[in-house]
């Protein structure tokens, strides 16, 4: 059919604006994430013997909320604001969050994280769906559009840890966080210029101007919702700051904090809601939903190991790896580096295998992805045998670990994303996308659990070498076993999912 609007390199011109806006947004997100755990351990919780424990709890709660907020942001965009307003609002909140982090202050630390949580909720889901909306239904270029977009994500994810990490080391944490904020502002400017240049045509507008202009408490909804978003930040900040156990860990609530408790209750609510949806669905819908749900659960387990990179793996890198050329914060660039190198070869591989009719089915790709996660942690656990007299291991193992888990990511993440939209009945596709993002949110609960197990308790502020080696190596061995167990379950469930 006829192609609408201005084109560039065979794609709608709007794609390139979204590409650069998301590149810069992820630059800010991953630049900050690279510094976050080290900043908490060495600054915020520096005085505590259980500084690792506190940092693990905050990192997990922040990560869970930063992905769970996308469910709300996506829904508000669908029903009221539209993509354009949502993305602008999210970007403003996120850059504010980064700039608050750039200001030296322990008390505003949680507020900064909370602003990023709310901002990401409005930005991330909507810019992804915006990409899809640039193509007509059934446009075969959509997949390659998403591959280009995923590349943008990882260019940001690669450059940011290197630059923010370098600034953080040479000039101080707050310069690193400040650069992340400037990155987010750059993303906003790109997006704004796209709107002005008209490259998004009529896409991404609010679904109903009437609703947007209607009033609550005398305030127009288009103003009311952003006010609510800003007001949500201090509430979330309070949740994040109560990272300690409810009741001191000796009540029936055990060592849970506010956020872990909320996510458990939320999990029950989602299960019940899913059960109701399954009950109401037709038999064929029910089967598809079951597969979609399984994919989401396995993706969550995978991210649960993968997202350790910003916490346990960063600490391991700083305490136990003989790094070369880069520092511990900068090792956060390695995942994105491998994704950039590998995404084209792997998509060519799928094309090649499809031609020979050897293309593995989704469940097998997932089982392979989880196996690769298992092998990657197994390799990391082997590094313990190569430790030198100081208890430091060669950098090589960390490189190989990131290589393997990145291949696993490319077997799962892009594949799952497109499968979810195929498998969901149209009337709940937005809800299922929300469930998909919740898989990342729950992954951070796994990250928090593992992070707490692998916390090193010490009065020594410069934990290094043999002081921490055994904790990490033992942990990596266990993670490898669990990841392998999950992979085997997917292999067994594969034939069932096929039906």
Q: Given the rule CB under 6 A, which residues bind ligand GLN?
A: 26, 153, 303, 440
Rounded to whole angstroms, the Cα distance separating 410 from 498 reads 21
Rounded to whole angstroms, the Cα distance separating 349 from 371 reads 19
CB of 215 to ligand GLN, least distance (A): 36
Sign of CA dihedral 78, 293, 371, 376: positive
Rounded to whole angstroms, the Cα distance separating 439 from 433 reads 10
- The answer to whether 113 and 240 have CB atoms below 8 angstroms apart is yes
Provide the token pair at 48. 């505590």
CB of 153 to ligand GLN, least distance (A): 5
Residue closer to ligand GLN (CB basis): 376 or 440: 440
CB of 465 to ligand GLN, least distance (A): 31
Provide the token pair at 224. 């009311």
Residue closer to ligand GLN (CB basis): 153 or 315: 153
Rounded to whole angstroms, the Cα distance separating 161 from 33 reads 8
Output the CA–CA distances (angstroms, integers) from residue 21 to 191, 418, 469, in the order listed.
6, 22, 40
- The alpha-helical segments, DSSP class H, found in 77-108 are 82-102
Output the CA–CA distances (angstroms, integers) from residue 358 to 204, 344, 350, in the order listed.
39, 19, 9
Residue 223: CB atoms within 10 A of its CB come to: 12
- The answer to whether 33 and 332 have CB atoms below 8 angstroms apart is yes
CB of 28 to ligand GLN, least distance (A): 12
- The answer to whether 37 and 310 have CB atoms below 8 angstroms apart is yes
- The answer to whether 348 and 372 have CB atoms below 8 angstroms apart is no
CB of 146 to ligand GLN, least distance (A): 11
CB of 67 to ligand GLN, least distance (A): 7
Rounded to whole angstroms, the Cα distance separating 390 from 487 reads 35
Token pair 């100081």: residue: 390
Provide the token pair at 471. 């904790």
Rounded to whole angstroms, the Cα distance separating 314 from 163 reads 16
Which residue of this chain has its Cβ atom nearest to ligand GLN in the complex?
A: 440
Residue closer to ligand GLN (CB basis): 27 or 110: 27
Strands 393-394 and 7-8: unpaired
CB of 350 to ligand GLN, least distance (A): 19
**CA geometry: angle 345, 351, 353, nearest 5 deg:** 100
Closest CA to 333 of 162, 183, 176: 162
- The answer to whether 11 and 145 have CB atoms below 8 angstroms apart is yes
Residue closer to ligand GLN (CB basis): 93 or 447: 447
Beta strands in 74-132 (DSSP E): none
Sign of CA dihedral 172, 65, 114, 459: negative
Residue closer to ligand GLN (CB basis): 303 or 338: 303
What single-letter DSSP state applies at residue 42? I
Provide the token pair at 349. 């591989």
CB of 305 to ligand GLN, least distance (A): 11
CB of 335 to ligand GLN, least distance (A): 8
Decide: helix, strand or coil at residue 143: helix
One DSSP character per residue, 240-278 reads HH--SPGGGG-STTTT--HHHHHHHHHHHHHHHHHHHHH
CB of 44 to ligand GLN, least distance (A): 24
CB of 97 to ligand GLN, least distance (A): 16
CB of 26 to ligand GLN, least distance (A): 6
């Amino acid at each position: 059919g006829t192609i609408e609007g201005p084109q560039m390199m065979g794609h709608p011109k709007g794609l390139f604006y979204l590409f650069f806006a998301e590149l810069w947004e992820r630059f800010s997100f991953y630049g900050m994430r690279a510094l976050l755990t080290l900043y908490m351990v060495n600054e915020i919780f520096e005085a505590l013997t259980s500084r690792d424990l506190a940092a693990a709890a905050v990192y997990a709660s922040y990560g869970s909320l930063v992905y769970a907020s996308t469910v709300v942001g996506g829904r508000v965009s669908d029903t009221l604001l539209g993509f354009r307003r949502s993305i602008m609002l999210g970007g403003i909140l996120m850059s504010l969050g980064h700039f608050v982090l750039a200001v030296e202050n322990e008390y505003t630390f949680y507020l900064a994280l909370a602003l990023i949580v709310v901002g990401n909720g409005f930005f991330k889901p909507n810019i992804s769906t915006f990409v899809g909306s640039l193509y007509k239904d059934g446009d075969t270029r959509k997949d390659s559009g998403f591959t280009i977009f995923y590349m943008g994500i990882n260019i940001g994810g690669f450059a940011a840890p290197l630059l923010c990490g370098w600034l953080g080391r040479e000039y101080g944490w707050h310069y690193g966080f400040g650069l992340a904020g400037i990155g987010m502002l750059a993303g906003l400017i790109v997006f704004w210029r796209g709107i002005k240049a008209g490259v998004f045509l009529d896409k991404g507008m609010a679904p109903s101007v009437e609703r947007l202009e209607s009033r609550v408490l005398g305030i127009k909804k288009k103003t009311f919702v952003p006010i609510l978003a800003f007001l949500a930040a201090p509430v979330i900040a309070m949740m994040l700051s109560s990272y300690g156990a409810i009741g001191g860990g000796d009540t029936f609530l055990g060592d849970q904090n506010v956020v872990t408790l909320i996510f458990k209750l939320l999990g029950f609510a989602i299960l019940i809601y899913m059960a109701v949806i399954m009950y109401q669905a037709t038999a064929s819908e029910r089967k598809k939903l079951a597969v979609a749900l399984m994919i989401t659960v396995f993706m969550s387990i995978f991210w649960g190991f993968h997202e350790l990179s910003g916490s346990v793996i960063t600490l391991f890198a700083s305490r136990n790896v003989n790094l070369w050329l880069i520092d511990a914060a900068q090792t956060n660039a390695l995942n994105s580096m491998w994704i950039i190198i590998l995404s084209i070869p792997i998509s060519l591989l799928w094309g090649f295998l499809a031609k020979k009719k050897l293309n593995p089915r989704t469940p097998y790709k997932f089982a392979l992805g989880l196996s690769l996660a298992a092998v990657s942690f197994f390799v990391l656990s082997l590094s313990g045998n190569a430790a030198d007299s100081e208890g430091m291991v060669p950098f090589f193992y960390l490189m190989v670990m990131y290589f393997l888990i990145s291949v696993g990511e490319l077997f799962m993440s892009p594949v799952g994303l497109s499968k979810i939209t195929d498998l969901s009945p149209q009337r709940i596709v937005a809800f299922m996308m929300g469930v998909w993002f919740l898989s990342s949110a729950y992954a951070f609960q796994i990250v928090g659990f593992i992070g707490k197990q692998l916390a090193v308790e010490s009065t020594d502020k410069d934990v290094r070498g043999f002081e921490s080696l055994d904790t990490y190596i033992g942990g990596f061995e266990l993670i490898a076993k669990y990841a392998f167990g999950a992979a085997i379950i997917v292999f067994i469930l594969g034939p069932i999912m096929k039906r």
